[in-house]
Amino acid sequence: MSLRKRQSQFALNVAFLILEAEKRGYEITLGDAFRDKRVHGEYGEEKGYSHPKSTHKVKLAIDLNLFKDGHYISNDEGHRELHEFWVEKCGGSPMIEKDPNHYSYEYQGIR
């Protein structure tokens, strides 16, 4: 699968995730979705604050700010049910222990 197709699949599944979060009573605001290579370097390059292999650099990751009853949720447990949905229903990568608000797909040098 081409990178563009993978990015398109990722974007559609982020939409499904956001709709699922709303059904479960969460409110979502968007966080970091793309890290410009002029600031953060190419995939695999260490530059700026970004991890060298950040999937944000290839448009396969997004950070979602999660709220419940008006309160910001920053811990693993608060994101757990959405991460389970992301992995099981959307084919996403399990990242909850490393970065609770990070939802991504794996990248393996697809062009």
DSSP per-residue letters across 10-56: HHHHHHHHHHHHHHTTEEEEE------HHHH-STT--BTTB-TT-GG
When divided into structural domains, the chain yields a total of 1
pTM for this entry: 0.83
Q: CATH number of the domain that 64 lies in?
A: 3.30.1380.10
Give the H or E element holding residue 67: strand 61-68
Domain that holds residue 53: 3-104
Q: Which two tokens stand for residue 27?
A: 């409110």
Residue 109 lies inside a defined structural domain of this protein: no
Query: Would you mind telling me the total number of residues written for the chain in this entry?
Result: 111
pLDDT in tens, 23-66: 999 999 998 887 777 666 667 667 666 676 778 888 899 999 99
